[in-house]
Amino acid sequence: MKRKALLIDTTLCVGCEACVWACKEGHGLSDDSPGKRNDNTYTTVKEYNDIYVRELCLNCEDPTCAAVCPVGAFTKQEAGAVLWDEKKCLGCRYCIQACPFHIPTYEWSSLNPKVVKCDFCHDLTSKGESTRCASSCPTGATLFGDRDAILAEARRRLKLKKGAVHEFPVHTLDSGDTIKHEALGYYPHIFGETEVGGTDVFFISDRDIRELGYFNNLPDYALRHRIEPAMGVIPDVIVTAGIFFYGMNWIINRRIENGVEPKTKIFGKKGEDK
Amino acid sequence: MSLAKELYLEAKEIVFDHFRTPTFWKVIFWAILAIGSFSIVYRFAFGLGASTNLSDEFPWGLWIGFDVMTGVGLAAGGFTISGLTYIFNIKKFRPIVKPAILTAMLGYILVVVGLLVDLGRPWYIWHMIIYWNIHSPLFEVGTCVLLYNIVLILEFSPVVFKKLRWSKAFHAVKKITMPLVILGVILSTLHQSSLGSLFLPVFTQMHPFWYSPLLPVLFYLSAVMTAFAMVTVESNIAARALRKQVEIGVLAVIARILVVLMALFGVIRLIDLYHQGILPQIFQANEASLYFWIEYSFMIIIPLILLTSEKRRWNNTILFYAAASTVIGFTIHRLNVAVTARTLINGDLYSPSFMELMTSVFIVAVGMAAYGFISKYFDLHDESGFTTELEEINVPKGGNSPQIQMAKK
């Protein structure tokens, strides 16, 4: 199975929220009106002045949530989904704290709370089928396909001439359906290609999407690499500290036994010791 | 009279003594106990959403920032004092080693209690034992805290065995004192620093004053430093409660260690800011630098000024206030890392709810009450420490231990 990905082209998005409703229906969520993402809404369309940007789990290639979860409840699937395992989670919420995109949400009102987020429609993508949001998108603003092919499509679009009319595939890369649209011109950056080690959801836009909200200052390596230097020395600390403290104890006790060191006057004010 | 009945009567006597004379502070304590237990019951009956101000934008609040991150730090006295006493064989610290171990044991048990309240599914806390993610700092903290809890209980157990007159168990634990203490020091070193590592992947959401790649080192150093301040504070409180003299000779030595560690931490904190290129920013007038200076003054500047003179280090009042200042500053530091650093970046998303606050206060109060009871019931101030031979243990018959007689006076 090839790794799948989504391309979200904000220049094509008209803000119709078809993706939001298809997601809610497909996942059996209640149909109350979506304000922000929560345990009932896995994806939303956010309006920034004149453009619409979808919010959904970016399904990172090397996910921070999976790196920090103490019980390893998050796993990256072959098709691309980052899934949460209800059977393991103990509710520490480190994933919510650490996600650089603020994606996982919590069932705060529940007595047996779940971590909820977009699951990349794993029931479909694991069979090679398109996610519900891409299948329902009427303009091709959310497009599904193999990850390398989607990246190639994104690179093709960045080079499109501004103002000329081009063909854009709809739903999936190989669906055969296309719409004709005037290219608005693109800012030369594919968001998600390198951010935090790469994601399986890419954003392209007519402006620098990193300036919207909290997408700024992300490194191009997985955030797991920030923890590893500290975690990697733990075995070393155990071994060296063990030898050091046993050794110190041995030396000091020998010196006291041999009368080299005074038995009590190691610290203390002059003349204060008994 | 059987031993069991004797022990029971003695415990009953201490508890009854507590209720016999209600004072202002005792009434406050009972009120905290009532409101706190109500908050905890409410949290388990109606969920985290109803009882806390936590949200998807701010999933870790006071319970993690204070109950866990500050609590673990304040309980560091257990491993520092036992390490100095047993590994480095500094006999001077013998009188305070058992109180320090007791504080640490109670502290760590209460950290687990705080964690159980905070976890969304506390009944799955044992999953940490069977599902391992060895790359997660939180797994590291959880495992070490669990193991260290066992170590602390074993380190304290001779006191209990002595009281129960279980000579075999007493000598069995006594034999493994040194491995236990060394294991305790290693486990503490690991999880005290890993508490800082928790924030390493979150750097995009933290104000740079409180994020640093050195966070594990800073957390370890600040915990070791505050351990000595905490020992000073609790020695004073315990002496007042038990109507005993403070061990000023020991505390003055501890104050000297504290001065060195505070100078070290204070300088490393500034060097770290310098290497991140943001040292000049602490002199700008804004909210972040205000928080920084409050923290830095309480934690470093005030106690350092108070404790640099030999004469002042032998003055118990000054010692107490200087150490208390360090403890307060340390608490502010941990809360700044856990809470303020995030709110400064993401906007004012969080302030603790009344129930969150009362739960934390409840946990502190329970810890102090448990300390009070145990220090009256068990013999903590036996200077011979772990090395006490059983022959020396002659509990007076009739359940009238010296502690009780003292409490009666």
Q: Do B190 and A237 touch (CB under 8 A)?
A: yes
Q: Which residue has the tokens 């959904």?
A: A56
Same domain, A56 and A149: yes
How far apart are the C-alpha atoms of B92 and A163, rounded to whole Å?
A: 83
- Alpha-carbon distance B6 to nearest alpha carbon in chain A (angstroms): 37
**pLDDT for residue A262:** 57
Q: Do B54 and A108 touch (CB under 8 A)?
A: yes
Question: What are A147-185's pLDDT values in tens digits?
Answer: 999 999 999 999 888 888 888 999 898 888 888 888 888
Question: What are A93-124's pLDDT values in tens digits?
Answer: 999 999 999 899 999 999 999 999 999 999 99
Q: Which of A105, A109, A227 sits opposite B200 (nearest CB)?
A: A227
- For residue A164, being part of any structural domain is answered with yes
Question: For residues B230 and B76, is the Cβ–Cβ distance under 8 A?
Answer: yes
- Alpha-carbon distance B103 to nearest alpha carbon in chain A (angstroms): 23
Same domain, B311 and B362: no
Q: Which of A38, A89, A97 sits opposite B202 (nearest CB)?
A: A97
Q: Which domain holds residue B159?
A: 27-198+352-378
Q: Do A71 and B139 touch (CB under 8 A)?
A: yes
Q: Do B88 and A249 touch (CB under 8 A)?
A: yes
Mutate to test the interface with A, among B118, B204, B260 (most CBs of A within 10 A): B204
**pLDDT for residue B391:** 39
Tokens of A235: 């075995």
Q: What percent of chain A has pLDDT over 90?
A: 63
Please state, in angstroms and as integers, the Cα–Cα distance from residue B160 to each residue in A134, A149, B68, B179, B310, following that order. Answer: 66, 69, 27, 20, 38
Where does a domain end: B350, B368, B388? B350
- For residue A58, being part of any structural domain is answered with yes
Q: Do B89 and A92 touch (CB under 8 A)?
A: no
CATH code where residue B368 lies: 1.20.1630
Same domain, A172 and A54: yes
Same domain, A202 and A260: no
- For residue A228, being part of any structural domain is answered with no
Q: Which of B121, B138, B142 sits opposite A112 (nearest CB)?
A: B121
- For residue B87, being part of any structural domain is answered with yes
Same domain, A115 and A247: no
Give me the total of CB pairs closer than 8 Å, taking one residue from chain A and one from chain B. Answer: 186
Same domain, B221 and B296: yes
Same domain, A249 and A192: no
- For residue B48, being part of any structural domain is answered with yes
Same domain, B53 and B69: yes
Q: What is the side-by-side strand order in the sheet with A201-204?
A: A142-146, A4-9, A201-204
- For residue A63, being part of any structural domain is answered with yes
Mean pLDDT of chain A: 88
- For residue B397, being part of any structural domain is answered with no
Q: Write out chain B's pLDDT in tens, 409 residues.
A: 688 888 888 888 888 888 887 888 889 999 999 999 999 999 999 999 999 999 998 999 999 999 999 999 999 999 999 999 999 988 888 888 888 999 999 999 999 999 999 999 999 999 999 999 989 999 999 999 999 999 999 999 988 988 888 888 888 898 898 999 999 999 999 999 999 999 999 888 899 999 999 999 999 999 999 999 999 998 888 888 778 888 888 899 999 999 999 999 999 999 999 999 999 999 998 999 999 999 999 999 999 999 988 888 888 899 999 999 999 999 999 999 999 999 888 777 888 999 999 999 999 999 999 998 898 888 876 644 444 443 344 444 444 444 444 444 4
Same domain, A263 and A190: no
- Alpha-carbon distance A235 to nearest alpha carbon in chain B (angstroms): 10
The DSSP 8-state label assigned to residue A191 in this structure reads B
**pLDDT for residue B5:** 86
Same domain, B74 and B112: yes
Same domain, B163 and B75: yes
For residues A197, A202, A204, A209, the Cα torsion angle rounded to the nearest 10 degrees is -60
Q: Which domain holds residue A263?
A: 233-274
Report which of B222, B207, B163, B185 is spatially closest to residue B339, judged by C-alpha positions. Answer: B207
Same domain, B179 and B232: no
Task: Name every residue whose Cβ is closer than 8 Å to that of residue B89 and which is 6 or more positions away in sequence.
Answer: A249, A252, A253, A256, A266
**pLDDT for residue A261:** 61
Tokens of A167: 């063909």
**Neighbour tally for A82: CB within 10 Å:** 27
Q: Which of A68, A253, A264 sits opposite B138 (nearest CB)?
A: A68
CATH code where residue A209 lies: 3.30.70.20
Same domain, B186 and B262: no
Same domain, B175 and B126: yes
Compare all CA atoms of chain B with the CA of A227 and give the residue at the minimum distance.
B200
Confidence class for position A271, pLDDT limits 50, 70, 90: very low
Where does a domain end: A184, A199, A223? A223
Range of lowest pLDDT (A28-37, A249-258, B188-197, B255-264): A28-37
Mutate to test the interface with A, among B43, B52, B56 (most CBs of A within 10 A): B56
Residue B317 burial (10 A CB sphere; 0-12, 13-18, 19+) = exposed
Mutate to test the interface with A, among B123, B185, B202 (most CBs of A within 10 A): B202
Same domain, B173 and B238: no
Same domain, B253 and B358: no
Mutate to test the interface with B, among A38, A62, A64, A68 (most CBs of B within 10 A): A68
- For residue A13, being part of any structural domain is answered with yes
Same domain, B244 and B364: no
DSSP assignment of A102-137 equals ---EE-TT-SS--EE---TTHHHHTTTPPPHHHHH-
Residue B361 burial (10 A CB sphere; 0-12, 13-18, 19+) = middle
Instruction: Encode A99-130: b = buried (16+ Cβ within 10 Å), e = exposed.
Output: bbbbbbbbbbeeeebbbbbbbbbbebbbeebb
Number of independent structural domains in chain B: 2
Number of independent structural domains in chain A: 2
Same domain, A259 and A125: no
**pLDDT for residue B401:** 46
Same domain, B182 and B256: no
Where does a domain end: A223, A242, A264? A223
